[in-house]
Structure 1
Amino acid sequence: MPEATPQDTRLVSIGVPVFNEATYLAMTLDCLLAQDYPNLEIVICDNASTDATPGICARAADRDPRIRVLHAQENLGATANFQRCIDEASGDFFMWAGGHDLWSSNYVSQCVAALDAHPAAVIAVPESNWIDENGQVYGSRASVLDTRDMAPLARLLTLLWANMHPIYGLIRVDRLRACGPLPNYPGADLVLLARLILEGDFVPAPLALWSRRQARAQENFHDRQRRYASSKVKIHGGPFPLLNLVYRLWHAAWSSSLPLSDKLAFTLAFPGALPARYLIARRRVI
């Protein structure tokens, strides 16, 4: 375990929501434990896994006291399991970690440094790339969302065309909890990011790298919606998920502290942006 210095004594909570992640979980936990920022707690929320995941979690917790494992007696659904990670976090900063992903050893320290350098920021966003089941990089690196010097309305409009990778960045716990419980519908990660981006900046941590593993079979838009609605994921969007998402984003803007003129400007600019994003997503297979 790396030795702490006066600059890294604040606790960073890493929530690891897992369900049947036995294939890569040991590698993932080794990667998190190798972070050069020593003051970590790793909260694994096991969503009633039926494979070897519980045993992998138990062995990891036995060898490192920074790991705490919580087992659900039955599958709670993905959103509730992600929320449980937040509820159990004790740190000043928080990040979710997928049970099949990898991170550079300086990931946490670089993100903490980025937030320290920008007190108005709510999330530090690393560089990210995709890796396959063998850990090989493919495609191009994702662009990093940097909203410094932007007005709140500009930040919000920029988010509509950004990727969702910031949701796995390092977040100030108090700002995350101020957004309320995680909503449970398709696109809820975009709504959460909208709430956060209205609270403050997203800043880059360009020396940190998150490698996001494509761990499931390729799926199109309709396949993804069916997976969301399954008994293992339990994310239900109703008969009109896009309309629901439009309303939720509109409500996030209108319930914020934006001035009325900005709310009206968002209402005028918004209707064309989300349908265009939706059409792009329908063609995307990942």
Structure 2
Amino acid sequence: MTIDVMMPFYGDVDQFRQAVTSVLDQTDPDLRLVVVDDCFPDPTPAEWLLALDDARVEYLRNETNLGVNGNFRRCVDLVVADWFVVMGCDDLMHPDYLSTVRTLARHHPGAAVIAPGVDVIDESGRPVAPLGDRIKSVLAPSRAAELSGERLATSLYHGNWTYFPSLLWRTKAVREVGFRPGLEIVLDLALLVDLASAGGSLVHDPEVVFSYRRHRASVSSVQAVDGRRFAEENQFFDDEARRCEARGWPKAARAARWHATSRLNHLQARVGAGIGRLRGRPAH
């Protein structure tokens, strides 16, 4: 079972090299790595990638810049395998990532999503534990579990404890549900709860096999400061509460209505922005 590792690219060249190397150094080599360059102005990354001369690697360059979510959608459109990952071009797979998620998928043939354990690193690759990620670790199941239906939706509305670039997705399930138009920040959360509504399940295993890079240049960090992220989230959760009530999911409806961790993140971002202004520098 070949797994498609789709990597939308536009960013730090050194981190990109590290990300690619972590994929190609997997103990399980049955993969296809597809890098989709979103018109990055420097040809160096493409030249380096092609010089690897690895038959598992494909390089594509968009004709025009699609932006983060546009390029993400294109990556999903290009998937040909039964399972895929959309990996960040600055994140790192641990050597046993693919073997771990492949085993989980084999043992849970009805699953739509596989969510392995994740640690968080900074720009330099050092382990970090920001408040939001500490909350994620508390919200995530503490042991291996398979969640579906209202239970899965309720858990995710309390706080999305998954890390999108680490998730292994079943291609057929994703394409049957599709992506909601108009969403930029909560696109992954919307897909997860739509899969739950369609009867799909998520399998979580806390064994850490992936490193997610947290840094100030990320889309979520930038939009957290200027408020776009939370405007979208507030509308999303209001809509979800109504959908869950209509679906007969009262616990999920309550969780969506409160969306406590989203509110906490919003407060933290506003406080950080205020402190940054007082000190005369951008908020972290």
Aligned to 1:283: 267
Unaligned runs of 5+ in 1: 1-9, 229-236
Deviations 1:191-219 (A, max 9, x none): 11111233322212343421111233594
Answer whether contact 1:167 1:193 (CA < 8 A) is retained. Answer: no
**Residues 177/248 of structure 1: CA separation in 2 closer, same or farther (3 Å cut):** farther
1:265 Cα shift? 5.7
1:17 Cα shift? 0.9
The reply on whether 1:157 has 2:154 as its aligned counterpart is yes
More helix by share: 2
Answer whether contact 1:188 1:245 (CA < 8 A) is retained. Answer: no
TM-score (norm 2): 0.78
Q: The residue matched to 1:181 in structure 2 has which SS?
A: coil
Q: The residue matched to 1:42 in structure 2 has which SS?
A: strand
- Quick one: percent identity of the two aligned structures? 22
Aligned amino acid, residue 194 of structure 2: R
Moved more, 12-21 or 208-217: 208-217
Unaligned runs of 5+ in 2: 270-283
Q: The residue matched to 1:109 in structure 2 has which SS?
A: helix
2:24 to 29, 33, 47: 33
The CA RMSD over aligned residues, in Å, is 2.9
Take 1:41 and 1:106, find their aligned partners in 2: how far apart are those partners? Answer: 16
Q: How many residues align?
A: 257
The reply on whether 1:180 has 2:178 as its aligned counterpart is yes
Deviations 1:25-48 (A, max 9, x none): 111101100112211111111111
Take 1:125 and 1:151, find their aligned partners in 2: how far apart are those partners? Answer: 13
Q: The residue matched to 1:74 in structure 2 has which SS?
A: coil
**Residues 206/179 of structure 1: CA separation in 2 closer, same or farther (3 Å cut):** same
The reply on whether 1:42 has 2:40 as its aligned counterpart is no
Aligned to 1:56: 45
1:19 to 10, 27, 38: 10
1:277 Cα shift? 3.0
Answer whether contact 1:186 1:245 (CA < 8 A) is retained. Answer: no
The reply on whether 1:193 has 2:200 as its aligned counterpart is no
**Where in structure 2 are the equivalents of 1:64-213 lying within 5 Å?**
64-139=54-129, 142-143=136-137, 144-145=140-141, 148=145, 152-168=149-165, 169-181=167-179, 183=181, 184-198=183-197, 199-213=199-213
Answer whether contact 2:11 2:89 (CA < 8 A) is retained. Answer: no
